[in-house]
Amino acid sequence: MQQAYKVTGGDFVNAGKASSSVKGILKQLNVPAGLIKRVVVALYEAEVNVAAHAYSGDILVEIDSDQVHIRVADSGPGIEDIQMAMKEGFSTASKEVREMGFGAGMGLANIKKNSDTFHIASVPGEGTTVEIINKLTD
């Protein structure tokens, strides 16, 4: 099963809709709650990152019987130093993003924590792509 979603930069009203939709699908497929939580927390953090930092983003979610493969590709300023961005506490988020309850520099590290396989690639001035793969079997 394949699902595609769009995220708009700066849109904190709709950020989370894709994660909510994926949560509903995984629940219908009777995936254990603990595994669903890992997938949707990782995806939600990625959605918030697009809303907080990018101009727009495309989410592609592929659900198979044994895994969920998520790709979040955004058009945006990109990340100059990925190693630094992965560090807990490092953030370039705006005051507005912090007022929304985010931007504490924990998102990327939390995505990694909630992924079985995590990849991130970025081209400064073009955008960032995050790949999240989670197995659906214990």
Partner 1 sequence: MKIQEIVHIINGRILTPGLDIGREISRAFSSDLMSDVLTRDYEDTVLITGLANLQAIRTAEMSDIGLIIIARGKEVGEEMVQLAESSDIVLIKSAYSLFRISGLLYEAGIKPIF
Q: Which residues bind partner 1 (CB under 8 A)?
A: 12-13, 15-16, 19-20, 23, 33-34, 37, 40-41, 44-45, 48, 100-107, 110, 113
| Strand residues in 10-116 grouped as ranges (E) | 56-63, 67-75
Query: Is 26 or 63 the residue whose CB approaches partner 1 more closely?
Result: 26
Give least dist CB 51 to partner 1, A: 9
Query: Is 101 or 125 the residue whose CB approaches partner 1 more closely?
Result: 101
Give the closest residue to 98 by CA, choosing from 48, 54, 38, 46: 48
Residue 137 and residue 31: Cα distance in Å, rounded?
Answer: 9
Give least dist CB 7 to partner 1, A: 13
Residue 134 and residue 70: Cα distance in Å, rounded?
Answer: 9
**Cβ atoms within 10 A of the Cβ of 126, count?**
12
Query: Is 87 or 124 the residue whose CB approaches partner 1 more closely?
Result: 87
Give least dist CB 6 to partner 1, A: 17
Query: Is 31 or 125 the residue whose CB approaches partner 1 more closely?
Result: 31
For 42, list phi and psi in degrees, rounded to 5.
-60, -45
Give least dist CB 136 to partner 1, A: 17
